[in-house]
Amino acid sequence: MLDFTDTPIEAPIQNWDWAPIKEVPIIENNEPLVSLSYLPEKLIVSPQYFIQNLPGAYPELFARAHVQEKLIEAARKLPYGYKFVVFDTWRSIPTQQALFDQMKLFVKRDHPTYSDEEIQQAALRIVALPSTDEKKPSPHNTGGSVDLSIIDEKGRLLDMGSPFDDISLHAKTTYYEVDDTSDKYEEARRNRRLLYHIMIQSGFTNYTEEWWHFDYGNQNWAKLSNQDHALYGATKPVFPWVKAY
């Protein structure tokens, strides 16, 4: 059995390039979105963008049905008493736009001499471009992306060396494997390995710029796992009385 915390993370790619990923064809399998709130003994739902009052964010988190099954499979590999805490899954286009616009403001604040193109490219390192193109959907808009971490048996988040939605280079999945290998971050290094290897072994792929972001079924997943096509395109929850974005 794989020793998750002793096995270094070797990212499949070091420099993420959106262009070839967006060329992966999508053959939509029409799998529904399902709620992630109904199995709290395995998954704790913490809808961060609703909590932060972002446009288009819901108080519930939804993912494709098979993604939910994969998450439960992964949760069973956690140490006794540990659980996943899920921060974000399916994301509306208004929420994606709000995040992207805010990221550009952060970049401009930190790099006042950047050109508009440099700001755009720096923002894209952390937040995907909002898209209404059915052939090039934002990963989270497919219901196949999951942002998550781990809590211990006392309900405390494990130390991952940087917080969820960190915009610094510390957020890169392999940062503590490559850029800072000091003993100071050994606990964070081992915790990242635990999350990474459990998710990868359960069939997910990782967005290498963010230790918390994993994919299944969308174009990110298809490209990194050498699939002929993605399974999920853009989607949205269906409610009988509410218009979804």
The binding site for Zn(2+) consists of 140, 147, 213
- Please return the burial class of 195, using the count of CB atoms within 10 Å of its CB with bins 0-12, 13-18 and 19+: buried
In the annotated binding site, the residues are 140, 147, 213
**H or E element: which one contains 122?**
helix 116-124
Query: Could you give the dihedral angle defined by the CA atoms of residues 28, 30, 232 and 29, in that order, rounded to the nearest 10 degrees?
Result: -50
Q: How far apart are CA 234 and CA 118, in angstroms?
A: 28
Q: What is the dihedral of CA 136, 137, 139, 145, to 10 degrees?
A: -130
Q: CA 210 to CA 164: how far, in whole Å?
A: 9
Token duo for residue 26: 């999508």
Alpha-carbon span 185 to 126, nearest angstrom: 22
DSSP letter at 236 equals -
Beta bridge partners of 215: 145, 205
Quick one: DSSP state of residue 129? P
Catalytic residue flag (residue 209): no
Strands 62-64 and 33-35: antiparallel
Active site residues: 210
